[in-house]
Amino acid sequence: MSLEENIAKVKAGIARAAAEAGRDPEEITLVAATKVQTSETIRAAIAAGVTVCGENRVQELTGHLDDYAYDGARVHFIGHLQTNKVRFVVGRVDLIESVDSLRLLGAVERQAEKLNLVQDILLEVNIGHEESKGGCLPEDLPALARRAAELPHVRLRGLMAIPPAAAEPGDNRRFFAATRQLFVDIRSQIGDNDTDIDCLSMGMSGDYEDAIREGATLVRVGTALFGPRPPMHP
Ligand SMILES: *Cc1c(COP(=O)(O)O)cnc(C)c1O
């Protein structure tokens, strides 16, 4: 299938899941996970209707930015971010989805202050308590969220989570529901009037429809748009 057909298919899946959940499909944004894709493919995806690209490696992000590959779209950083690389990301992306520690939060704040801007962020939660995964533990989230809300150069917009790989379709739903509950809790904890907290990023190629049924507003989809990726060499 062509990229255009894949995009149409995923958008139809988003609309179907939204309808089933009684939600407005306009509330849900498709984030194209563009890791390992070329600048040319990214441009083609944007020409075909992708409005947000999600990049998870700093080096690829920088290369594509230098190429102006994302022109016409917004960019989210969705991968693990090392403190010593924040200067390549802060102020260059619309949203950093993967802030997961006080240390990283502090580094983002300092860089944003230096650039005299406010960086939108999500806090990433390790909802399955998996040792191999990034994200803060759910029990550490309230303190991290409180700190984020205090800082003048970051704007907390919500949460991101990558649940454990599902053995059977549907296995992930309880993790999406748990993330949604944390999102609701954080929103009430930070302040009722704070409408900035409006993003819940969860769901990938295999499970974005379930994530939408549980309240996702951002779904990060790679394989279903671009096809399988070559194996990763970390
Ligand atoms: C690669 C990636 C995705 C997309 O995964 P697919 O299964 O290919 O849809 C989503 N989120 C993050 C953080 C990723 O790195």
Q: Which atom of ligand 1 is nearest to the CA of 221?
A: 9
d(CA 57, ligand 1 centre) in Å: 12
Ligand 1 is surrounded, with C-beta below 6 A, by: 33, 35, 56, 78-79, 162, 204-205, 220-224
Give the C-alpha separation, 170 to 140, whole Å: 27
Which pLDDT tens digit goes with each residue over 59-92? 999 999 999 999 999 999 999 999 999 999 999 9
Show Cβ contacts of residue 216 under 8 Å, excluding neighbours closer than 6 positions. Answer: 28, 176, 200, 201, 202, 203, 208
pLDDT tops 90 at residue 6: yes
d(CA 69, ligand 1 centre) in Å: 19
Q: CA of 92: how far to CAs of 75, 155, 156, in Å? A: 8, 15, 17
pTM: 0.96
Which pLDDT tens digit goes with each residue over 146-203? 999 999 999 999 999 999 988 888 888 999 999 999 999 999 998 756 668 999 999 9
Best probe residue, ligand 1, of 7, 130, 176, 204 (max atoms within 8 Å of C-beta): 204
Q: Which atom of ligand 1 is nearest to the CA of 208?
A: 9
Q: Which protein residue's CA is at the shortest distance from atom 5 of ligand 1?
A: 222
Query: Bridge partners of 218?
Result: 29, 201
Least confident of 13-27, 113-127, 190-204, 217-231: 190-204
Token reading at 172: 């992930």
Give the C-alpha separation, 170 to 172, whole Å: 5
Q: What is the mean pLDDT of the chain?
A: 95
Q: Where are the domains of the chain?
A: 3-226
Please spell the DSSP secondary structure of 16-38, one letter per residue: HHHHHTT--GGG-EEEEE-TT--
Percent over 70 (pLDDT), the chain: 97
Q: Which protein residue's CA is at the shortest distance from atom 12 of ligand 1?
A: 78
- Does domain 3-226 match CATH 3.30.450.20? no
Mean pLDDT in residue range 19-31: 97
Token reading at 167: 């053995």
> 73 in helix, strand or coil?
coil
- Which amino acid, one-letter code, is at 23? R
Report how many helices (DSSP H) and strands (DSSP E) the chain contains, helices first. 8, 8
Q: Return the pLDDT at 194.
A: 61
Give the C-alpha separation, 67 to 40, whole Å: 10
Task: Name the nearest CA neighbour of 50 among 82, 7, 14.
Answer: 7
Q: Which residue has the tokens 């179907």?
A: 16
